[in-house]
Structure formats: structure tokens, C-alpha cells
Homo-oligomer: A and B are copies of this chain.
């Protein structure tokens, strides 16, 4: 019953097999000029139905920071949701890779930026004013840090504003597959067709061991990306490690199958918790994460029963939405989560809820 994160798992069998097979092969091109990487890039072109440039890297932090550095000078401003992973959870990696750009957080319900909030920030940072950083990029998380997903038209409304202000648009797709399955639209519709220039395409959280792709839909931004990757130590000499994982991940829709499984179990979890008295789910479940408000005593009882999940920062909730004896819990299902685990957790939760309800106040 471990719902702590989707990176506690290992890797899916097809990915393990591909990795082992590639590692057994003889002499092959280095630094990304291997045939597995070539295969993976070709598949990405098919998946996104367009030509594109790709750089594989081992971590999501590297993918985000390289993406942002490809569109942001040291004096740039990166606008993102106030709870975005890039702003507070990556130890300042975007600041490091860009040479000191500023990340500006914008509030928004359920982890999502809204046009009004973006517009205000654009006004606060007028272009060409030399005493301020120069707005350079908008960064959107898909799925968001609240487990929600932007629809293509929501993305389009934000990217239109961004483009009008001269910003490039980055998408942090650490959980891109889960968002895509949740939305039921095509990969192209939620990215370049909606105005995304650069995408961090995650595989690690969804069945790979360590593989993310920086995808440049606007290939001008890729111009210095390769040397920025090398300079940051992310160009693997045995590039097959990344290429083999990604090729297997994409092969025959394996990535979507993995995400579908995680999302379905998250939905089962959400329904089970939503039906219980004393639980409140503040955000719609649109990917593989479930957020639930519960009392601290219930949370403690669940931990005691062996369930693992994290208390989450409640600042994304509205005023009064959470009581002083309550917490916001995040529960994540991965490709490796099983229906049995979910059912056991729900049974445990029902038991705990009953026990707490019947205990003398």
C-alpha cells in the first residue's frame, strides 16, 4: 500500500528486456548516435505527428532546466504556477542552467494557471524595462502538481497570451502520458498544436528507470541545446542506455498502456475515497494522482496500518477549505500499482473511518 510516489517503482518488463539486450550488443555509436536513440526519435516523430528535435537526458530536473535554458537568457523571467515543480522543488536548477533567471510564481486554482493571472504578471514585467528581468518563458505542468490536466483549449488561451508577449512556452510533462490518457486527446493536440515550443517528455515516472526527452517543436530553440546538455554533464557516452529505454517505452503504445493502468487505479481510489464520509477530494482526478482532505487522526491511523502517502502543501486550497485538524494527502498510483493494493487500502480506509466515527469524541 505504497502511494508515496510513482518513482518508488522499478521498470516495466519490456523496458528491462530492451535495456539488457542493448547492453549486450557490441560496438555502437556514442553520445547519442546509437541506433536505439535513432529509433526512439523516429517513434517520437510519429507520436507527435511532426518533425522535431530531441535530446535524451536521465532526469526530469535536467529535462526541465535544459528546456528552460534553451529559451531563457540569464536576465530572463520564467512565469509558472506558484506550486510548479520547477520553482521550488528542483533546488534552483532552472536558475543554474539559465545563469540566474528569475522564476515568477502565479497563483491558480487546482494547480492550473488561468489567463487572468498570467495577464497580471505580464503587466508587472513590461518588456524592455532595463531594471527588471525580461519575460522569456511560460512553463506549464501537464499533468499539474494537483493531478489535474489542461485541455488543449486551456493551453491555447495561455500560449496565445504568452506569444503575444514574446514568451516561448515550455511544458513540464513529467507525467505527460498520464495527462494524455486522462484527456483522451492526441499528443499533438496538447502540445505544438496548442502552442507549446519545448516539452519535457517524461518516461521515468511511468515505467522507465531514468529517461526523459527534451522535445523541441520549435527547432530554432534546439540550436545550442546539444552543447548545453554536454556542458551540464547530461550527454551519456553510452547513449544506448537512454535510447533503449525510450524506444521500448514508445513501442506499440506501451507507454499509454502503462499510464492507463495507473490512471484507472487512481480513479478507483478516487471513487472509493469520495464515497466515504469525512473525505473530500478538492481537485478533479485527471491523471494518476488523488488528493484527499482527511482528518489528521484518520491519516495517522492509515499510516499505522501500513499505508504510505505524503501530506501535501495545502496552499493550493481556497481559504476555509481545510480545517485545522485536517490535512491534504497526495496518493499516487504508478504503472506498477495493483488493483489488490488499491482494494486493500480502501478496505483499510473504510475500517479506519468507521472506527474514528464510532469513537467517543
A contact set with B: CB distance below 8 Å: 2, 4-5, 7-11, 13, 15-16, 19-20, 22-31, 57-63, 65-66, 73-75, 88-93, 95-103, 124, 130-134, 204-205, 209-210, 224, 226-238, 240-241, 308, 336
Contact = CB atoms under 8 A, between A and B. Distances in A.
Given A100-B100, A210-B238, A92 B233 contact: no
A238 B10 contact: yes
B92 A101 contact: yes
A167 B232 CA distance: 24
Given A58-B236, A133-B91, A209-B238, A96 B231 contact: yes
6 contacts: A5-B30, A20-B20, A58-B234, A73-B224, A130-B230, A210-B236
B30 A10 contact: no
Contacts of A99: 74, 96, 99-100
Contacts of A25: 10
Contact of A235 (B30, B59, B63): B59
B73 A210 contact: no
A228 to B, nearest CB: 7
Given A20-B20, A25-B10, A237 B60 contact: yes
Contact of A89 (B19, B103, B132): B132
Contacts of A61: 230, 233, 235
A101 B96 CA distance: 8
B231 A90 contact: yes
B59 A234 contact: yes
A23 B209 contact: yes
Given A26-B9, A134-B227, A234-B233, A75 B62 contact: no
Contacts of A16: 20, 23-24
A210 B242 CA distance: 10
Given A30-B5, A62-B233, A226 B130 contact: yes
Given A20-B20, A224-B75, A236-B58, A101 B95 contact: yes
Given A9-B26, A58-B234, A209-B240, 8 more contacts: A10-B28, A13-B24, A27-B308, A58-B58, A58-B210, A61-B233, A74-B96, A210-B241
Nearest to A32: B130
A75 B228 contact: yes
A229 B233 CA distance: 11
Given A20-B19, A28-B8, A204 B92 contact: no
A241 B26 CA distance: 21
9 nearest CB pairs, A to B: A62-B233, A95-B100, A7-B237, A99-B99, A61-B233, A11-B23, A91-B231, A91-B230, A10-B23
